Chain A
């Protein structure tokens, strides 16, 4: 059974640009959640999608958005990139929700120059 796949693995952008990250969950998993991880702040929750609907949202500005497709694949978009957006972005999938066992991808390392 394939794990959670995130693409791309590494990304370099400049300030002001926008970026789209992709996450393919484990087959059968309907919940996909996104997290930002930085050395200073640790892991922080961005949002969770279930059956194409955003079900929960963390405390991040509106520049961070996401969506989920009918096949449960999810994308995360960050517009008007800032230097502080440099981080490891992780997605996790589960059968029904974040309150159960989460399976994480390897993440996308985003560097904003």
Chain B
């Protein structure tokens, strides 16, 4: 079954600290993997898109990694800010871009 799992389900960190969110998938054949940030009551905003050949992609303080062999991705947030408080959703596209699966998301809370 094509699935995307994310961990942890929720995370609380202090402002200025780093954190890493995980995304594991079972889909095949893999097309690309995207990370989105969704503030409460708003639509998701794209952070990164990675294809099979890309291992790392950065967007400011956000760095995503992809290991296509183990079917794992991580999103690392450096020097967290209060505005990083949001849900982070991993989306994996497969079957030559014809299908995709959303992960359940990780809820991050950054406290002062």
Among B73-112, those with CB < 8 Å from A are 89, 91, 93, 97-98, 100, 102-105
Q: Confirm or deny: B45 has a beta carbon within 8 angstroms of a beta carbon on chain A.
A: yes
Interface residues of B, count at CB 8 A: 19
Of all chain B residues, which has the CB nearest A40?
B104
A42 touches B43 (CB 8 A): no
A101 touches B102 (CB 8 A): no
Name the contact of A106 in the complex, choosing from B43, B97, B104 (C-beta under 8 A). Answer: B43
A45 touches B43 (CB 8 A): no
Name the contact of B41 in the complex, choosing from A45, A100, A106 (C-beta under 8 A). Answer: A106
A107 touches B46 (CB 8 A): no
Chain A interface extent, by class: 20 to 34
Given A98-B100, A99-B97, CB of A92 within 8 Å of CB of B43: yes
Among B17-71, those with CB < 8 Å from A are 31-32, 41-46, 49
A42 touches B31 (CB 8 A): no
Q: How far is the CB of B62 from chain A (nearest CB, A)?
A: 15
Give 24 pairs: A residue, B residue, CB < 8 Å, sorted on A: A4-B43, A42-B103, A42-B105, A43-B44, A43-B91, A44-B102, A45-B100, A90-B43, A90-B44, A97-B97, A98-B93, A98-B97, A98-B100, A99-B32, A99-B93, A99-B97, A101-B49, A102-B44, A102-B46, A104-B43, A104-B45, A106-B43, A107-B42, A107-B43
User: Given contacts A43-B89, A103-B46, could you give 7 more A-B pairs where the C-beta distance is less than 8 Å?
Assistant: A42-B102, A42-B105, A43-B44, A99-B31, A106-B42, A107-B41, A107-B42
Interface residues in chain B, defined as those with a beta carbon under 8 Å from any beta carbon in chain A: 31-32, 41-46, 49, 89, 91, 93, 97-98, 100, 102-105
